[in-house]
A and B are shown apart, each in its own frame.
Chain A
Protein backbone atom coordinates (compact mmCIF):
# COMPACT_ATOMS: atom_id res chain seq x y z
CA UNK A 1 0.00 0.00 0.00
CA UNK A 2 1.19 3.50 -0.84
CA UNK A 3 2.58 5.43 2.15
CA UNK A 4 0.26 8.37 1.46
CA UNK A 5 -2.77 6.06 1.41
CA UNK A 6 -1.64 4.56 4.74
CA UNK A 7 -1.41 8.06 6.25
CA UNK A 8 -4.80 9.13 4.86
CA UNK A 9 -6.57 6.00 6.14
CA UNK A 10 -4.76 6.11 9.50
CA UNK A 11 -5.58 9.81 9.82
CA UNK A 12 -9.25 9.28 8.88
CA UNK A 13 -9.53 6.48 11.43
CA UNK A 14 -7.96 8.63 14.15
CA UNK A 15 -10.16 11.63 13.31
CA UNK A 16 -13.25 9.36 13.25
CA UNK A 17 -12.49 8.12 16.77
CA UNK A 18 -11.88 11.65 18.01
CA UNK A 19 -15.21 12.80 16.56
CA UNK A 20 -17.17 9.64 17.52
CA UNK A 21 -18.77 10.52 20.85
CA UNK A 22 -18.66 14.27 20.24
CA UNK A 23 -20.93 13.58 17.25
CA UNK A 24 -23.10 10.96 18.94
CA UNK A 25 -23.60 12.72 22.28
CA UNK A 26 -27.21 13.62 22.96
CA UNK A 27 -28.47 11.04 20.45
CA UNK A 28 -28.47 8.47 23.23
CA UNK A 29 -28.04 8.64 27.00
CA UNK A 30 -24.58 7.72 28.32
CA UNK A 31 -25.05 5.48 31.39
CA UNK A 32 -24.07 6.98 34.78
CA UNK A 33 -21.51 4.24 35.31
CA UNK A 34 -19.74 5.11 32.03
CA UNK A 35 -19.67 8.81 32.93
CA UNK A 36 -18.18 7.92 36.30
CA UNK A 37 -15.57 5.67 34.67
CA UNK A 38 -14.39 8.49 32.39
CA UNK A 39 -12.66 10.18 35.35
CA UNK A 40 -10.21 7.29 35.40
CA UNK A 41 -9.33 7.44 31.69
CA UNK A 42 -6.40 9.91 31.91
CA UNK A 43 -4.59 8.34 34.91
CA UNK A 44 -5.13 4.80 33.55
CA UNK A 45 -4.02 5.45 29.95
CA UNK A 46 -1.06 7.64 30.89
CA UNK A 47 0.15 5.22 33.61
CA UNK A 48 -0.02 2.41 31.07
CA UNK A 49 2.37 4.44 28.86
CA UNK A 50 4.62 5.53 31.75
CA UNK A 51 5.22 2.13 33.38
CA UNK A 52 6.90 0.37 30.41
CA UNK A 53 8.92 3.53 29.64
CA UNK A 54 10.41 3.42 33.16
CA UNK A 55 10.57 -0.30 33.97
CA UNK A 56 11.27 -1.71 30.49
CA UNK A 57 13.63 0.73 28.74
CA UNK A 58 14.96 -2.08 26.54
CA UNK A 59 11.69 -4.03 26.17
CA UNK A 60 12.48 -6.30 29.15
CA UNK A 61 11.85 -5.72 32.86
CA UNK A 62 14.88 -3.99 34.39
CA UNK A 63 14.81 -3.41 38.17
CA UNK A 64 18.57 -2.88 38.53
CA UNK A 65 20.38 0.28 39.67
CA UNK A 66 21.69 0.67 36.15
CA UNK A 67 18.15 1.36 34.87
CA UNK A 68 18.66 5.13 34.87
CA UNK A 69 15.25 5.80 33.33
CA UNK A 70 13.56 4.21 36.34
CA UNK A 71 15.70 6.25 38.77
CA UNK A 72 15.10 9.47 36.83
CA UNK A 73 11.38 8.62 36.68
CA UNK A 74 11.28 8.27 40.47
CA UNK A 75 12.92 11.70 40.76
CA UNK A 76 10.28 13.13 38.40
CA UNK A 77 7.43 11.49 40.36
CA UNK A 78 8.75 12.97 43.63
CA UNK A 79 9.12 16.44 42.07
CA UNK A 80 5.62 16.21 40.54
CA UNK A 81 4.20 15.12 43.90
CA UNK A 82 5.90 17.91 45.89
CA UNK A 83 5.53 20.79 43.42
CA UNK A 84 2.65 19.88 41.03
CA UNK A 85 4.70 21.84 38.47
CA UNK A 86 4.73 20.33 34.94
CA UNK A 87 7.78 22.19 33.65
CA UNK A 88 9.85 21.56 36.79
CA UNK A 89 8.95 17.84 36.66
CA UNK A 90 10.14 17.45 33.06
CA UNK A 91 13.34 19.43 33.66
CA UNK A 92 14.16 17.54 36.88
CA UNK A 93 13.53 14.12 35.29
CA UNK A 94 15.57 14.95 32.20
CA UNK A 95 18.42 16.45 34.26
CA UNK A 96 18.47 13.35 36.50
CA UNK A 97 18.73 11.05 33.47
CA UNK A 98 21.48 13.12 31.83
CA UNK A 99 23.51 13.28 35.07
CA UNK A 100 23.17 9.53 35.65
CA UNK A 101 24.19 8.77 32.06
CA UNK A 102 27.23 11.06 32.18
CA UNK A 103 28.43 10.12 35.71
CA UNK A 104 27.93 6.34 35.46
CA UNK A 105 28.82 5.78 31.83
Chain B
Protein backbone atom coordinates (compact mmCIF):
# COMPACT_ATOMS: atom_id res chain seq x y z
CA UNK B 1 0.00 0.00 0.00
CA UNK B 2 1.42 3.40 -0.89
CA UNK B 3 1.91 6.24 1.58
CA UNK B 4 -1.19 8.11 0.37
CA UNK B 5 -3.53 5.21 1.09
CA UNK B 6 -1.76 4.48 4.38
CA UNK B 7 -2.47 8.03 5.54
CA UNK B 8 -6.07 7.85 4.33
CA UNK B 9 -6.78 4.63 6.26
CA UNK B 10 -4.91 5.92 9.32
CA UNK B 11 -7.40 8.82 9.28
CA UNK B 12 -10.33 6.42 9.00
CA UNK B 13 -8.97 4.37 11.91
CA UNK B 14 -8.35 7.45 14.09
CA UNK B 15 -11.93 8.58 13.42
CA UNK B 16 -13.59 5.21 14.06
CA UNK B 17 -13.83 5.35 17.89
CA UNK B 18 -15.60 8.72 17.54
CA UNK B 19 -18.08 7.21 15.09
CA UNK B 20 -19.51 5.07 17.90
CA UNK B 21 -20.83 8.28 19.42
CA UNK B 22 -21.89 9.77 16.08
CA UNK B 23 -23.99 6.84 14.92
CA UNK B 24 -26.75 7.02 17.58
CA UNK B 25 -26.71 10.81 17.20
CA UNK B 26 -27.53 10.37 13.49
CA UNK B 27 -30.26 7.83 14.31
CA UNK B 28 -31.90 10.34 16.65
CA UNK B 29 -31.57 13.15 14.12
CA UNK B 30 -33.30 11.10 11.41
CA UNK B 31 -36.14 10.13 13.72
CA UNK B 32 -36.56 13.67 15.09
CA UNK B 33 -36.50 15.29 11.64
CA UNK B 34 -39.39 13.11 10.48
CA UNK B 35 -41.42 13.78 13.61
CA UNK B 36 -40.81 17.54 13.15
CA UNK B 37 -42.52 17.32 9.76
CA UNK B 38 -39.64 17.18 7.27
CA UNK B 39 -40.03 14.88 4.28
CA UNK B 40 -37.63 11.90 4.27
CA UNK B 41 -35.82 13.44 1.26
CA UNK B 42 -35.37 16.82 2.99
CA UNK B 43 -34.27 15.16 6.25
CA UNK B 44 -31.65 13.12 4.39
CA UNK B 45 -30.43 16.02 2.24
CA UNK B 46 -29.95 18.25 5.29
CA UNK B 47 -27.32 15.72 6.47
CA UNK B 48 -25.22 16.37 3.37
CA UNK B 49 -26.09 20.03 2.67
CA UNK B 50 -25.69 21.37 6.23
CA UNK B 51 -23.70 18.37 7.53
CA UNK B 52 -23.35 19.65 11.12
CA UNK B 53 -25.10 17.61 13.80
CA UNK B 54 -26.02 20.04 16.55
CA UNK B 55 -27.21 22.73 14.09
CA UNK B 56 -29.35 20.10 12.33
CA UNK B 57 -30.98 19.25 15.67
CA UNK B 58 -31.62 22.93 16.34
CA UNK B 59 -32.96 23.51 12.81
CA UNK B 60 -35.26 20.50 13.15
CA UNK B 61 -36.65 21.87 16.39
CA UNK B 62 -37.19 25.34 14.86
CA UNK B 63 -38.92 23.88 11.79
CA UNK B 64 -41.17 21.96 14.16
CA UNK B 65 -41.97 25.26 15.94
CA UNK B 66 -42.77 27.00 12.60
CA UNK B 67 -39.93 29.50 13.05
CA UNK B 68 -39.37 31.99 10.17
CA UNK B 69 -36.83 30.68 7.62
CA UNK B 70 -34.40 33.57 8.03
CA UNK B 71 -34.21 33.00 11.80
CA UNK B 72 -33.48 29.31 11.19
CA UNK B 73 -30.66 30.18 8.75
CA UNK B 74 -29.11 32.67 11.19
CA UNK B 75 -29.40 30.18 14.05
CA UNK B 76 -27.61 27.53 12.00
CA UNK B 77 -24.87 30.12 11.40
CA UNK B 78 -24.50 30.99 15.08
CA UNK B 79 -24.48 27.36 16.23
CA UNK B 80 -21.78 26.65 13.63
CA UNK B 81 -19.62 29.72 14.35
CA UNK B 82 -17.07 27.48 16.05
CA UNK B 83 -16.16 26.05 12.64
CA UNK B 84 -14.39 29.33 11.84
CA UNK B 85 -12.09 28.59 14.76
CA UNK B 86 -11.48 25.06 13.47
CA UNK B 87 -10.81 26.55 10.04
CA UNK B 88 -8.16 28.90 11.47
CA UNK B 89 -6.69 26.02 13.47
CA UNK B 90 -6.12 23.65 10.51
CA UNK B 91 -5.32 26.37 7.95
CA UNK B 92 -1.51 26.40 8.48
CA UNK B 93 -1.30 22.63 7.87
CA UNK B 94 -3.10 22.67 4.51
CA UNK B 95 -1.90 26.06 3.26
CA UNK B 96 0.18 24.50 0.45
CA UNK B 97 -2.69 22.50 -1.09
CA UNK B 98 -4.51 23.44 -4.32
CA UNK B 99 -7.92 25.12 -4.00
CA UNK B 100 -9.94 21.99 -4.84
CA UNK B 101 -8.37 20.20 -1.86
CA UNK B 102 -9.08 23.17 0.42
CA UNK B 103 -12.73 23.20 -0.68
CA UNK B 104 -13.05 19.44 -0.16
CA UNK B 105 -11.41 19.48 3.28
CA UNK B 106 -13.47 22.52 4.34
CA UNK B 107 -16.63 20.58 3.46
CA UNK B 108 -15.67 17.68 5.77
CA UNK B 109 -14.40 19.94 8.60
CA UNK B 110 -16.82 18.80 11.34
CA UNK B 111 -16.31 18.63 15.14
CA UNK B 112 -15.23 15.00 15.11
CA UNK B 113 -13.10 15.15 11.94
CA UNK B 114 -11.38 18.24 13.35
CA UNK B 115 -10.78 16.52 16.70
CA UNK B 116 -9.09 13.48 15.16
CA UNK B 117 -7.14 15.48 12.58
CA UNK B 118 -5.75 18.22 14.83
CA UNK B 119 -4.46 15.58 17.30
CA UNK B 120 -2.69 13.90 14.38
CA UNK B 121 -1.18 17.19 13.17
CA UNK B 122 -0.07 18.20 16.67
CA UNK B 123 1.50 14.83 17.47
CA UNK B 124 2.95 13.80 14.11
CA UNK B 125 3.59 17.25 12.69
CA UNK B 126 3.27 18.00 9.02
CA UNK B 127 3.89 15.20 6.48
CA UNK B 128 3.51 15.23 2.66
CA UNK B 129 0.44 12.95 2.82
CA UNK B 130 -1.22 14.20 6.01
CA UNK B 131 -4.07 15.83 4.06
CA UNK B 132 -5.10 12.27 3.12
CA UNK B 133 -5.39 11.53 6.86
CA UNK B 134 -7.72 14.55 7.15
CA UNK B 135 -9.77 13.32 4.18
CA UNK B 136 -9.96 9.78 5.60
CA UNK B 137 -11.24 11.05 8.96
CA UNK B 138 -13.69 13.42 7.24
CA UNK B 139 -15.11 10.88 4.80
CA UNK B 140 -15.43 8.22 7.52
CA UNK B 141 -17.55 10.66 9.48
CA UNK B 142 -19.51 11.79 6.41
CA UNK B 143 -20.41 8.21 5.47
CA UNK B 144 -21.42 7.33 9.03
CA UNK B 145 -23.57 10.47 9.28
CA UNK B 146 -25.39 9.74 6.01
CA UNK B 147 -26.00 6.07 6.86
CA UNK B 148 -27.13 6.73 10.45
CA UNK B 149 -29.42 9.60 9.33
CA UNK B 150 -30.97 7.31 6.70
CA UNK B 151 -31.46 4.53 9.24
CA UNK B 152 -33.02 6.99 11.72
CA UNK B 153 -35.42 8.21 9.03
CA UNK B 154 -36.23 4.61 8.12
CA UNK B 155 -36.78 3.47 11.69
CA UNK B 156 -38.49 6.73 12.54
CA UNK B 157 -41.06 6.44 15.25
CA UNK B 158 -40.12 2.79 15.92
CA UNK B 159 -37.32 3.98 18.27
CA UNK B 160 -38.79 4.17 21.81
CA UNK B 161 -38.49 7.68 23.23
CA UNK B 162 -37.21 6.23 26.53
CA UNK B 163 -33.93 5.24 24.85
CA UNK B 164 -31.38 7.90 25.86
CA UNK B 165 -29.49 7.72 22.54
CA UNK B 166 -29.02 11.50 22.49
CA UNK B 167 -26.71 11.12 25.51
CA UNK B 168 -24.09 9.59 23.20
CA UNK B 169 -23.19 13.09 21.94
CA UNK B 170 -22.04 14.61 25.27
CA UNK B 171 -20.33 11.31 26.13
CA UNK B 172 -18.33 11.56 22.91
CA UNK B 173 -17.28 15.09 23.81
CA UNK B 174 -16.27 13.97 27.33
CA UNK B 175 -14.07 11.28 25.78
CA UNK B 176 -12.40 14.00 23.68
CA UNK B 177 -11.95 16.71 26.32
CA UNK B 178 -10.81 14.79 29.41
CA UNK B 179 -7.61 13.35 27.87
CA UNK B 180 -6.43 16.80 26.65
CA UNK B 181 -6.83 18.33 30.15
CA UNK B 182 -3.15 17.73 30.84
CA UNK B 183 -2.12 21.21 32.02
CA UNK B 184 -3.65 23.95 34.15
CA UNK B 185 -4.51 26.43 31.35
CA UNK B 186 -6.55 23.78 29.48
CA UNK B 187 -8.34 22.73 32.68
CA UNK B 188 -9.10 26.40 33.40
CA UNK B 189 -10.44 26.88 29.86
CA UNK B 190 -12.66 23.79 30.09
CA UNK B 191 -14.04 24.56 33.56
CA UNK B 192 -14.74 28.24 32.91
CA UNK B 193 -16.44 27.44 29.58
CA UNK B 194 -18.60 24.83 31.31
CA UNK B 195 -19.64 27.22 34.09
CA UNK B 196 -20.44 30.10 31.72
CA UNK B 197 -22.44 27.70 29.51
CA UNK B 198 -24.65 26.93 32.52
CA UNK B 199 -25.00 30.57 33.60
CA UNK B 200 -25.73 31.82 30.05
CA UNK B 201 -27.89 28.86 29.01
CA UNK B 202 -31.07 30.94 28.70
CA UNK B 203 -29.60 33.31 26.08
CA UNK B 204 -31.41 32.96 22.75
CA UNK B 205 -30.07 31.25 19.58
CA UNK B 206 -27.53 29.15 21.53
CA UNK B 207 -25.49 32.35 22.07
CA UNK B 208 -24.64 31.04 25.55
CA UNK B 209 -22.55 28.35 23.87
CA UNK B 210 -20.59 30.92 21.84
CA UNK B 211 -20.10 33.18 24.87
CA UNK B 212 -18.97 30.27 27.05
CA UNK B 213 -16.47 29.10 24.42
CA UNK B 214 -15.00 32.61 24.05
CA UNK B 215 -14.68 33.04 27.84
CA UNK B 216 -12.99 29.62 28.09
CA UNK B 217 -10.52 30.44 25.31
CA UNK B 218 -9.78 33.84 26.92
CA UNK B 219 -9.24 32.37 30.39
CA UNK B 220 -7.01 29.58 29.06
CA UNK B 221 -4.88 32.10 27.18
CA UNK B 222 -4.62 34.50 30.13
CA UNK B 223 -3.76 31.61 32.45
CA UNK B 224 -0.98 30.45 30.15
CA UNK B 225 0.52 33.94 29.86
CA UNK B 226 0.38 34.72 33.57
CA UNK B 227 4.00 33.73 34.09
CA UNK B 228 5.44 34.92 30.80
CA UNK B 229 3.43 37.91 29.56
CA UNK B 230 6.31 39.49 27.64
CA UNK B 231 6.83 36.50 25.41
CA UNK B 232 3.51 37.16 23.72
CA UNK B 233 3.12 40.95 23.78
Show the binding face of A for B, using Cβ within 8 Å.
1-11, 13-15, 17-26, 30, 32-34, 36-56, 59, 61, 69, 72-73, 76-77, 80-81, 84-87, 89-91, 93-94, 97-98, 101
Contacts and interface: CB of A to CB of B under 8 A. Distances in A.
15 contacts: A1-B73, A7-B46, A9-B73, A11-B49, A19-B102, A21-B87, A39-B220, A43-B216, A44-B189, A51-B212, A55-B198, A61-B198, A76-B174, A86-B17, A87-B175
Interface string B202-226: 0000001100111111101100110
A50 to B, nearest CB: 5
B180 interface: yes
A57 to B, nearest CB: 9
B174 A25 contact: no
Interface string B186-203: 100111111111100100
Given A43-B193, A76-B171, A76-B175, A6 B81 contact: no
A87 B209 contact: no
Interface residues of B, number: 93
Contacts of B82: 41, 45
A47 B224 contact: no
B38 A3 contact: yes
B213 A90 contact: no
Given A37-B220, A42-B118, A3 B63 contact: yes
Contact of B177 (A9, A10, A39, A42): A42
B148 to A, nearest CB: 14
A1 B214 CA distance: 32
A46 to B, nearest CB: 4
B28 interface: no
Contacts, number: 266
Contact of B164 (A20, A30, A77, A97): A97
B97 to A, nearest CB: 9
B18 A86 contact: yes
A38 to B, nearest CB: 5
B197 A48 contact: yes
A49 B167 CA distance: 12
User: Chain A at the B interface: mostly helix, strand, loop or mixed?
Assistant: helix
Nearest to A14: B80
A22 B105 contact: yes
A50 B174 contact: yes
A77 to B, nearest CB: 6
B198 A56 contact: yes
Contacts of B144: none
Given A1-B69, A10-B72, A23-B102, A36 B49 contact: no
A76 B18 CA distance: 15
B85 interface: yes
A39 B194 contact: no
B87 A14 contact: no
Contact of A6 (B72, B83, B106, B186): B72
A34 B20 CA distance: 33
